[in-house]
Structure 1
C-alpha cells in the first residue's frame, strides 16, 4: 500500500483508536510537507496579507487622518492596535519556543515525560500548562510543534487550553486583580484545568483524524539544528501572525458594535449573565494575562459570571479561533470551538456553585 493511500484511509479511524495502536503505526504518520498544499503557498499568501494590510494602513493614515476621527473609528483603531500589540510578544515567544522544540529537543524527550496512553497523557499535559508562562497566542504554535514531535493530539490540545488559562503569570494577575478574594483564584484554576482535561479526554474518545489537519514539516531535509530553528520560526510567525491580525480585526469590530447598555440589562439574571460574559470574552479576545482586570471591573455581574469571562476567553475567542484555523484547519475549529465553549460553561457553573 502506498503512503498516499495509507493517509487517505486514516480518516476512518478515531484518534483514540490510533493512540491505542501506538504512534508507530504507519496509518498515524504525519503527512509529507507538501501533502494537500503547494510548498510555500501558505507562507507567500500570508506575506502578501501582511503587506496589503500595512500598505492600506499607511495610505489610509496619509489620506484620511483628518476625516477618520469619529468616536467609533477611534475606539475601533485603539482596540485593534491594543489586541495586536498585546498579543504579538506572546506570539513571538510561542513561535520561538515552538521552533526550539522542533530543532533542539529529540522526540525521545517527549516519550520520556508524557505517557504513551492518551488517557494518562491528557492530565499530565494539562498540569504542565501551569509551568509555562504565555497566552493563547503562544500555545497554538507550541501545540502544533508538540504534535509534530509525536505527542498525541489530545494531549497537545489539552496543553493548548491549559497553558494560557492556569500558567503562573495568569494566576498572579488574577490574585492581584481580585485582591482579598483567594476563592476567585482557586475557582479560576480549578475550572480552567477541569475544562482542559475533560476536553482532552473527549477528543481522545470522539476525535477523528480527518478533523485535524496535522502540521506539516516546513524545514529543509538534512538541515542543521539552527537552520531548522530559523526556518520553523519564519514559517510559523508568518503563518500564525496573519491569522492574529484577522482575529484582531474581527474582535475590534464586534467590540465597538456591542452596546454596553445591553450588558447592564442582563447583569441581574444569574444564568443569562454568565452566558453574556462568556460571549463577551469571545468577542473581546483579551489576552489571558489581562482579562482578570477587565473581569473585576464588571462590578454589576456575579462572581460566577466573572469566572465565566476568565475561563472561556483563554480557550475560545476570535483571535484564538483564527489562529487555530491557520494551524489545524477549519474542519477542526468548527468542532473544537463549540466543544470548548460547552465544556467551559459547564465547568464554570459547577466550580462557581462549589467555591464562589
Structure 2
C-alpha cells in the first residue's frame, strides 16, 4: 500500500508528448494563429464589390455601345489622343532630365552659384530654374534640399516657382504647341520669371523662418545614384503622367460637352476669362511640360487668358499645394499660395497686355 496521503496529486512527470508540445509552442517561426481563421466579412465584401464592378462594365458596354460610336464621342477621343500624344515625349524627356539632376548633381552646386546677399540671390535663383528640366513635382524637393544646405529660403522658393515654368523643355513645348507664335513663349518666360522674382523679394522682406517647417529627406543619402535616378523617374512619371491624362480628358470634355455659347460668353469677358482659366489651371493640375498643349486647345479664349493658364498652373495648382504642404507645412501654404497667386495674375495681365 502506498504511504502517500489520500487526495494528493502525483508529481508531474515529463513525457515525450509533453516535451514536443512545449517545444512547438516555444517556436517563434510559426505563422500567427489568425492565419487559420475563416475569411472575414471584409474579404467577402471585396469579392462581391469586384463582381458588381464587372457586371457594371458589362451592362455599361451594352447600353453605351451605340453612344460610343457617335460623332461627339469620336471628336472627344480625337482631341484627347492628340493632346496626349503631343505632350508625352516632352513629359518623358523632362522627367528623365529632372531625375538625372536629382541623382547626379549635388544640391551644394546650387548653393555655390547663388550670391550671399538675399536680394541679389533671388533673381539668380529664378534664372537658375532654367537648369531643372522638370515639372513642379521635382522642384519642391530640390528647393527643400537647398534650404537644408544653407541657401536663403527666399532664393530657394524663387527657384521652386521658376524651375517648372521657364526651363528649356517647357519653353520648347510651348513653342511647339503655339507654332508661329513666338510672342507666347516670350510672354510666358517674362511673366513667370517676373512673378517668381517678386514673390522671392516679398518673402525675403516679410517672410519668417518659423513659417517653414524643416523639410524631410526624400532619398537615402547612401543609396546608389542609379537607384535614386530610377526611383525619381518612376515617381515623377507616374504622377505627371496621371495628371496629363486628367488634363487631356478635361480639355477634350470642355471642347465637346460644354455648349459653345457658354464658352463664348465667358471668353468674351477680358477679366473674367483670365480668372476662369487661372482657376482651371489650379484645378486641373497639369504638368508644366504638357499644359501648353491643353492651353492651345482652348480656342475660344484670348491669348492673355491662355497666358494666365500657363503662368498660374506651374506655380499654383492642387498637386503643388499638396507637395508644398507635405514639405514645408500648412502654415507655409496659407501664406505662400495667396502671394503667389496674386503675383501670377498681376504679371499675366501686365505681360499679356504688353506682348499679346
Instruction: Tell me if TM exceeds 0.5.
Output: yes
Q: Distance in 2 between matches of 1:270 and 1:157?
A: 31
Alignment partners' CA distance in 2, 1:318 and 1:255: 17
Identify the residue that residue 216 of structure 1 maps to in structure 2.
216
Contact between 1:246 and 1:322, CA under 8 Å: does it hold in 2?
no
Aligned-partner Cα distance in 2 for 1:174–1:117: 33
Paired residue for 2:57?
Answer: 65
Q: Displacement of 1:66 after TM fit? A: 3.0
Change (3 A) 1:170 1:242: closer
- Partners of 1:342 and 1:111 in 2: CA distance: 28
Instruction: Tell me, yes or no, if the aligned pair for 1:243 and 1:322 is still in contact at 8 Å.
Output: no
Corresponding residue number in structure 2 for 1:11: none
* Aligned residue in 2 for 1:135: 135
Determine if contact 1:243/1:319 at 8 Å carries over to the other structure: no
Q: Work out the CA distance in 1 between the residues paired with 2:95 and 2:55.
A: 31
Counterpart in the other structure of 2:158: 158
Using structure 2 for the length normalisation, give the TM-score: 0.66
Q: Which aligned pairs between 1:129-278 and structure 2 lie closer than 5 A?
A: 129-217=129-217, 224=222, 226=223, 260-261=258-259, 262-278=262-278
Give unmatched runs, 5+ long, in structure 2: 1-45, 68-72
CA distance in 2, matches of 1:291, 1:244: 11
Q: Structure 2: how far apart are the matches of 1:342 and 1:322?
A: 19
The root-mean-square deviation of aligned C-alpha atoms, in Å, is 4.1
- 1:91/1:137 contact within 8 Å kept: no
**Separation (CA, whole Å) in 1 of partners of 2:289 and 2:232:** 26
Deviations 1:109-150 (A, max 9, x none): 444211111111110110111232111122122212222222
Change (3 A) 1:166 1:207: same
The verdict on how the C-alpha distance between 1:233 and 1:155 changes in structure 2, with shifts beyond 3 A counting, is farther
For residues 244-298 of structure 1, give each alpha carbon's deviation from its aligned partner in whole angstroms, at most 9, with x where no partner exists: 8998999899989987345432110111111111111111112211211222222
* 8 Å CA contact 2:141, 2:218 repeated in 1: no
The CA distance in 2 between the partners of 1:150 and 1:233, in whole Å, is 27
Give the paired residue count. 288
The two structures have a TM-score, normalised by structure 1, of 0.66
Cα deviation, residue 90, structure 1: 5.7
Q: What residue ranges of structure 1 are gaps of 5+ in the alignment?
A: 1-54
**Pair 1:98 & 2:102 matched:** yes
Equivalent residue, structure 1, for 2:317 = 317
Any idea what SS the aligned residue of 1:129 has? Answer: helix
Runs of 4 or more consecutive aligned structure 1 residues displaced over 2 Å after TM superposition: 58-71, 85-101, 109-112, 216-220, 226-238, 240-265
Decide whether aligned partners of structure 1 residues 243 and 327 sit closer, same or farther in structure 2, where only a CA change above 3 A counts: farther
